[in-house]
Homo-oligomer: A and B are copies of this chain.
Amino acid sequence: MGEFDLIRRFFQRPAAPGVEVGVGDDCAVLVPTPGARWLVSSDMLVEGRHFLSTVAPERLGHKALAVNLSDLAACGATPRGFTLALALPRVDEAWLAGFARGLWALADASGIPLIGGDTTQGPLNICITVFGEAPPGQVLLRSGARIGDEIWVSGRLGDARLALEVFRGTVALDGAGFDIVRAAMEYPTPRLALGQALRGIATAAIDISDGLLGDLGHILAASGVGAQLDVDALPRSSVLASQPMALQQECLLAGGDDYELVFTALAGAVLPDVGVPLTRIGVIEAEPGLRVVDAHGLSVEHGLRSFDHFAS
């Protein structure tokens, strides 16, 4: 199977609404919504860094798009389209069929058409770029947190990291527990509806990809504020809650790969109900830095840092 057959078979469909030209010309052509801002984000996934060789191709197809949609969600954007660039060591039709199935299922569920891309031979690499729209002045940014704002997080944290520890052999779980945390790692849900519902409500937002401490730290730095964070308030699964406290805290605070939203809002703001649990986890303060405390307000030591692809 050649390059163009591969694209036709797995990655080409009739153009979707709002897409004037999709896959198959030099560029895709989209019809923007009048007055809307145009949002763009790009993520590259590499085997061994962002996913393990053991992941089912269908879950990988899902996750590769999910981590990109999570960036649109963090900005409150409505998805409009995405491109897929794929380097493959060889053409493995079963792998491609699974990958495409997972990718399309999430794309269809999220209402985002695949509009173009590239395929080439090389070490496995998946680069997706997503495009979305939001009304002017309603894009959720990292820079809007204000003193006294409450800090909230969606869903629950830490399961993906716990699953990684099982793969690393440092933690043992029973089959049912492993299935739960493995799904969190391999099958994250981008919080698109929540992000859109938070337009005009959240003062700042980010998605948690590198760990809560680091990603919340980006909000604090961009907003020029500090925060106090209640580690005991952090939402967690019963599987994670049954682990030793030090491991729980590491997974919750520095785990990464959560793809939940952490956001700030005026104290007492009415938050939207889109079927995703929201938990208040702290408060924005004037004093710079991030102070982690327990439910009794006592300081929790942490030497944790967020994930950095080039840190030694």
Interfacial residues, chain A to chain B (CB-CB below 8 A): 1-4, 6, 20-21, 24-32, 34-44, 46-50, 71-72, 74-75, 77, 81, 83-88, 91, 115-123, 125, 127, 129, 131-132, 134, 136, 139, 141-143, 205-207, 222, 308-311
Contact = CB atoms under 8 A, between A and B. Distances in A.
Contacts of A39: 27-30
A310 to B, nearest CB: 5
A30 B26 contact: no
Contacts of A127: 42, 44, 85, 118, 125, 127
Contact of A3 (B1, B38, B40, B308): B308
Contacts of A47: 122
Given A34-B34, A49-B121, A50-B120, A27 B2 contact: no
Contacts of A91: 310
B129 A129 contact: yes
B117 A42 contact: yes
Contact of A26 (B41, B129, B131): B41
Given A38-B32, A42-B117, A27 B75 contact: yes
- Copies of this chain, complex-wide, total 2
Contacts of A25: 75, 141-143, 222
| Residue of A47, A120, A121, A205 with highest tally of chain B CB at under 10 A | A120
B309 A120 contact: yes
Contact of A206 (B26, B40, B116): B26
B42 A142 contact: no
A237 B31 CA distance: 41
Given A27-B39, A91-B310, A122 B121 contact: no
A39 B26 CA distance: 9
Given A44-B86, A85-B127, A121-B310, A38 B49 contact: no
A119 B32 contact: no
A77 B27 contact: yes
B27 A71 contact: yes
Contacts of A116: 40-42
Given A4-B308, A83-B40, A310-B1, A26 B71 contact: yes
15 contacts: A3-B308, A26-B75, A27-B40, A27-B72, A28-B39, A30-B37, A30-B38, A40-B81, A40-B116, A43-B85, A43-B118, A44-B87, A44-B125, A46-B122, A125-B125
A77 B112 CA distance: 23
A132 B27 contact: yes
A92 B232 CA distance: 42
A85 B141 contact: no
Contacts of A31: 37-38, 136
Given A26-B72, A28-B41, A125-B125, 7 more contacts: A3-B311, A25-B222, A26-B142, A31-B136, A40-B131, A49-B120, A122-B123
